[in-house]
C-alpha cells in the first residue's frame, strides 16, 4: 500500500479542503494523514485534521524551519500552501523541501509575486494579449479617467477595502483610504472563478469555471458550475503566460461576450468544494502526481450547472480541547523523537 502524509499550511477555515484530501487518500487506498499548521488554536481545521501544529506567522524568519520540523516528524510527502502571503516563500523554497523528499505543490516565487500584485497581474496579461482589466496606479491614472472604476489594495485578499468608485468626487477619498491602491476599469457583468489545476510542468489538468452568484467576504457563498468554452480558453491562455503549478483560481467578469481577468490567485480558492463536488477533484489528482502516477488532463470533465449554497457549521470546544490540539512545534517534535 502506498503511503503519503499531507500538510496543509494556514489551515484556518478550510475544513472542506482537509476533508477532501482525507477522502482522496482513502479512495486511492493510500495510507496517510492530513495535518495542518496554523497560528490560532481556534482555527476550525485544527480540530478536524488528524493532527495540528502551532507555528509562527509566515513573516517570521523561523517559519520555514518550523515547517521543516513538522515535515520531518510527520514524514510529510506533500505540502499544500493556502494563503497569498506564504506563496512566494514556499515558491522560493520548493527545491529546499525537495531535497528532504517533500513536494511543495505551489507555483514559482516569480509567479506568486506577480499574481499577489494585482496591478502586475493585469499588466503582464495585457502585454501578452490576454483580456485583463486595464489597471492604474494613482500616479498613472489619466487626468480625466473614465468612470466607474474599481479601487482595491494592490496587495490584499478577501475583498477587503475594495470599492466601486462611481464619481470623481469619491475618487480622492478612496485613494487616501485604501492602502497602496490599484484602480481598474469597472467591468459590469457576471463574475466567475475559474479553478484550474496544473502539473509541475505547468500543464493544465483540470479546469472548472463557476459563476459566483452570491459573494461573502470575498468567497463564493452561492454559485454554480458553468459550461463555457470561453472561460476554459481564458484559463489556458493564463497558463501560457504564468508558470503555474498546483491549484490556481482566476477571477474574471463577462462583458460584451468576452471574459476579462481582474485577479489571479495561485492557490486553492474558497469555493473549491463546488469544483471538487462537480468532478474536478484537485486533491485526488495532486496526491496521484506526488505518488508518481500518470494523471492525464481532464479539461471540461465536470458536472455542468451544479449549484452550491454554503452555510456556517459551528464547532464546540472545551477549554481542555483548546489546550491539547496545538503545541509549539519545536517542543512537540523533541517529544516525538
pLDDT exceeds 50 at position 162: yes
C-alpha cell at 185: 476599469
Instruction: For the chain, give every domain's residue range.
Output: 5-105+314-336, 138-185, 188-309
pLDDT computed for residue 159 by the predictor:
64
Residue 235 pLDDT more than 60? yes
- In tens, the pLDDT along 285-306 reads 999 999 999 999 999 899 999 9
For residue range 268-279, what is the model confidence (pLDDT) as tens digits?
999 999 999 999
- Domain 5-105+314-336, CATH class in plain words: alpha beta
Topology (CATH level 3) of domain 188-309: D-amino Acid Aminotransferase; Chain A, domain 1 (3.30.470)
3-state secondary structure of 264: strand
**Secondary structure of residue 253 in the 3-state scheme:** strand
> Would you list the DSSP string of 78-94?
EEE--SGGGHHHHHHTH
- Sheet of strand 163-165: strand arrangement: 135-136, 181-185, 149-153, 163-165
Which pLDDT value is given to residue 320?
A: 80
Residue 37, pLDDT > 80, answer yes
User: Higher model confidence: residue 322 or residue 193?
Assistant: 193
Distance CA 311, CA 271 (A): 12
Give the least confident one: 53-67, 177-191, 320-334. Answer: 320-334
**16-39 as b/e: b if 16+ CB within 10 A:** bbbbbbbebbeebebebbbbbbbb
Amino acid at each position: 500500500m502506498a503511503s503519503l502524509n499531507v500538510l496543509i499550511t494556514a489551515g484556518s477555515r478550510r475544513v472542506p479542503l482537509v476533508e477532501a484530501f482525507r477522502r482522496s487518500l482513502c479512495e486511492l487506498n493510500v495510507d496517510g494523514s492530513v495535518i495542518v499548521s496554523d497560528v490560532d488554536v481556534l482555527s476550525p481545521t485544527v480540530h478536524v485534521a488528524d493532527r495540528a501544529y502551532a507555528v509562527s506567522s509566515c513573516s517570521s524568519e523561523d517559519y520555514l524551519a518550523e515547517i521543516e520540523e513538522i515535515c520531518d516528524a510527520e514524514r510529510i510527502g506533500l505540502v499544500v500552501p493556502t494563503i497569498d502571503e506564504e506563496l512566494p516563500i514556499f515558491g522560493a523554497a520548493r527545491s529546499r523541501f525537495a531535497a528532504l523528499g517533500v513536494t511543495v505543490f505551489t507555483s514559482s516565487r516569480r509567479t506568486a509575486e506577480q499574481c499577489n500584485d494585482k496591478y502586475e497581474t493585469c499588466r503582464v496579461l495585457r502585454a501578452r494579449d490576454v483580456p485583463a482589466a486595464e489597471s492604474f496606479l494613482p500616479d498613472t491614472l489619466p487626468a480625466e479617467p473614465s468612470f466607474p472604476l474599481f479601487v482595491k489594495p494592490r496587495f490584499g485578499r478577501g475583498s477587503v477595502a475594495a470599492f466601486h468608485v462611481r464619481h470623481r468626487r469619491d475618487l480622492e477619498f478612496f485613494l487616501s483610504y485604501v492602502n497602496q491602491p490599484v484602480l481598474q476599469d469597472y467591468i459590469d457583468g457576471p463574475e466567475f472563478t475559474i479553478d484550474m489545476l496544473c502539473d509541475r510542468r505547468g500543464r493544465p489538468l483540470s479546469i472548472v469555471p463557476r459563476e459566483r452568484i452570491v459573494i461573502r467576504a470575498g468567497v463564493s457563498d452561492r454559485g454554480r458550475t458553468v459550461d463555457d468554452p470561453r472561460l476554459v480558453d481564458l484559463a489556458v491562455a493564463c497558463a501560457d503566460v504564468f508558470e503555474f503549478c498546483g491549484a490556481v483560481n482566476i477571477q474574471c467578469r463577462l462583458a460584451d461576450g468576452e471574459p476579462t481577468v481582474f485577479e489571479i490567485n495561485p492557490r486553492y480558492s474558497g469555493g473549491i468544494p463546488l469544483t471538487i463536488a462537480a468532478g474536478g477533484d484537485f486533491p485526488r489528482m495532486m496526491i496521484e502526481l506526488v505518488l508518481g502516477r500518470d494523471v492525464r488532463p481532464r479539461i471540461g470533465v465536470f458536472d455542468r450547472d451544479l449549484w452550491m449554497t454554503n452555510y456556517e457549521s459551528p464547532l464546540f470546544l472545551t477549554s481542555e480541547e483548546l489546550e491539547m490540539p496545538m503545541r509549539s512545534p519545536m517542543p512537540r517534535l523533541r517529544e516525538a523523537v
